[in-house]
Structure 1
C-alpha cells in the first residue's frame, strides 16, 4: 500500500511540475536577456559595487523579437562603449542571429540557439568568415546569467556573471499575489528577483497574526529593503462582524495596524467578498461605517486606509450601485480607494469616469490585465495613464494572476510594459 501511495504521489508531483509553464519559443527565451545588467565583483558572487566593471543595456524591439545591445566598460573613471550588437530571432532559419561591432572596429556576426530555456550558445565569425568567438550563456535565475567566452579550440577565454539591475526611477510596485507560490517557497530569493527587475516597492496580502511569510514585521521590512525595495502596502481582510462583535473586530484591526506600522507600511487596503448577499442600503451603510472606523484607526497611527474593488461592487442594491454608495458614504478623510482596473472593466464600467468624478479619492491603482499586462488589448492603458482630467495616483501596483509564462517571467513583462510603453 505504501508503495502504491508513493507511486501515486510521485505521479501527481510530476504532473504538477509538468504543468508549470515553460519558455518554449526561441523568442521568449531570448527575451530573458532584455534589461539592464551589471557584472558582479567576480564569478563566485552576485555582489557588485558602485562602479561595476561592465554595464550592459539590452532594449527589446520588434515586439520582443530582437534587442539592441550596448556593453560598456569602466575605464579611467568613465564608462566607454565596448561593443554594440543587434540580436534577433530569424524565422526563416530558426536561429538567433547577431550582428555586432567591438571598440576595435571589428564587425562580427553570429548565430545560435537555446538548447533549453536556460542555456544558450552563440558562435561568432568576423566578416571574412573567420572564427571570432563562441559565447555560452547560462541563466541561473531570471536576474543572474553566467556568460563564458571560448576560442576555436574550446579553451575558456573569460567568464563573467551578469546581474540584472533595472532602473527604479518610475516607482512601480508589485502585488505579491503575482508570485504567491514563489514567495511561499522562497521569499528572500523572490524578493531579490523582483528588486533586480526594477520594482520599487511591494504590496502583500499574507498578513497572518503578526507575521508576513513567517517573518516578524521588522524582519520582513528589513528583507524587502535588503533587495532595494520598500514595503509600502498590504491587503488585509477581516469580514464585517455581527453587531455584538464590533469591538472585537476593531481590536483585531488595531493590532493589525500596529503590526503594519512596525513593518513601515504606508497604506492598508481591504476588499469585500460578502457583497453578493447584500440586499439593502442599510447593510451598505453598515459597511461604510465599518470602513470609516478602520480608516480612522489607520489615520491615528499615521497610515492610510483604502478600499479595493472586484466586480461585485458594481452591482445594484435598491437602485444604487454599491461602489457609488461607498464613495458617497465613507469619509474622505479616512477612506480612500484602490481601483482594480481589470475588475472594473470586467464589471462593464469605465474606470476613467470614476477617476474624473472623484479625482482625490484614489490612493492607488491595481494594474492588471486578462493575462500578462498589455497582452489582451482590451484595456486602453495609454488613455488611463495620460488622461488630461486626472493624475496617476501615488501608488501604481502591477499584478498578474493568469499566466502564459512562469510567474517571474510574467511580472518582468509587466514591469517592462509599464516602464517602456506606458510611463514614457
Structure 2
C-alpha cells in the first residue's frame, strides 16, 4: 500500500514517541493534518464498500476526507473486518472514525450488535476503533406506528446511552423527516428529546431531512443549545421533488447553519447523500470541494 508523505510522517512521529518529548507530539501531529476535518458517512458508498472496502476507503482519503462515519456493524465485524483489522486499514490511510451508526434491533432481532442484542460488545468494539459517538441511525416504519413507541424508544435510548457513557463515548440519535410529523398533536422528535437525558442522549442533525420536514436547523439549535454535536451535511435539489444533491449544488444555505455551530455544540460533520444521480465518488468529491469553500471552523 502506498503511503502519502503526511501519513508516513505521522507514523514516524508515533513510532518515535518513546524517544521524543511527549509534549511536542500534539503540535507535530497537528502540522501533518489539514485544518478541516471533513467527514463522510460511508453509507453514501454502500455498494462500493460491499465490494472493496479497503480500495474504496483509499479513494475517500485521496479526495481529502479525514474522517468517516461507519454503518453496518454486525456480530463483531466492520465491513467483514475485526476491529483490529479495520483499525489498521483506517490508520494506514490517515482516516479517523469518530462515529458509527446502529439500529435498535427490534426489526431484525437476530442481528448482533444492536441496541437490543449484544449492545455491550458493539460498544466495546466501537471503543476499540477509537469512536467517540454511537448513533441510533433509524427507526423502521413498523417500530413507530404510535406516539407511545417513541416514549419507549426514549427509555431504550437512555439505557443504551448509559452503557456508551461507561465506555467513555456519547450516544446520539439521527433523524429523518418522520419525527417531525405530528402524532396525537405532538412531534415525535419533541417526545424523544423531552424523554431522554440531555447529557446521555445527544442528536445528530440531518440537515437535509430537517429542512425537508420544514424545520429550520438554526431554530432547533437555539431551542436545544449544545445538543447537536454531529451533523449530516447534504443538499437538496432546487426541484419539485427536492431530491438529494451534492453539497453546494442545491437550495440549502450551509454557511448560515455553520455560523451557528457553537450554538449547536457541533464537533463533527459528515457529508452524506442517500441517493446519487452521479457516480457516488464523483458526488462526494463535489461535496468535498464545496464544503472546503465554506467557513466551517
Q: Same fold (TM over 0.5)?
A: yes
Q: Is the 8 A contact 2:204 2:231 kept in 1?
A: yes
Q: Is the 8 A contact 1:224 1:230 kept in 2?
A: yes
Residue in 1 that maps onto 2:82: 216
**Using the alignment, how far apart are the partners of 1:353 and 1:395 within structure 2?**
19
1:189 to 38, 43, 55: 55
Residue in 1 that maps onto 2:141: 274
Residue in 2 that maps onto 1:379: 252
Residue in 2 that maps onto 1:356: 222
Aligned length: 258
User: What is the root-mean-square deviation in Å for CA atoms of aligned residues?
Assistant: 2.5
Shift of the 316–182 alpha-carbon distance from structure 1 to 2, 3 Å rule, reads same
Q: Is the 8 A contact 2:106 2:116 kept in 1?
A: no
Residue in 1 that maps onto 2:266: 393
Residue in 2 that maps onto 1:298: 164
Shift of the 192–277 alpha-carbon distance from structure 1 to 2, 3 Å rule, reads closer
1:420 to 284, 288, 293: 293
Deviation at 1:347, TM superposition (A): 1.1
Q: Is the 8 A contact 2:133 2:169 kept in 1?
A: yes
Residue in 2 that maps onto 1:409: 282
Post-superposition Cα deviations, 1:382-415, rounded to whole Å, max 9, x if no partner, equal: 1111139725600111112232422111111111
In structure 1, stretches of 5+ residues that fail to align are: 1-44, 51-165, 242-247
Deviation at 1:363, TM superposition (A): 1.7
Residue in 1 that maps onto 2:98: 232
**Using the alignment, how far apart are the partners of 1:240 and 1:264 within structure 2?**
27
Shift of the 383–392 alpha-carbon distance from structure 1 to 2, 3 Å rule, reads farther
> What is the DSSP-based 3-state SS (H/G/I as helix, E as strand, rest coil) of the residue aligned with 1:352?
helix
Q: Report the structure, 1 or 2, having the larger helix content.
A: 2
> What is the DSSP-based 3-state SS (H/G/I as helix, E as strand, rest coil) of the residue aligned with 1:316?
coil
State which structure, 1 or 2, has the greater radius of gyration over its C-alpha atoms: 1
Scaled by the length of structure 1, the TM-score of the pair is 0.57
Deviation at 1:184, TM superposition (A): 1.4
Shift of the 366–388 alpha-carbon distance from structure 1 to 2, 3 Å rule, reads closer
Residue in 1 that maps onto 2:189: 323
Higher normalized contact order (CA 8 Å, seq sep 6+, divided by chain length): 2
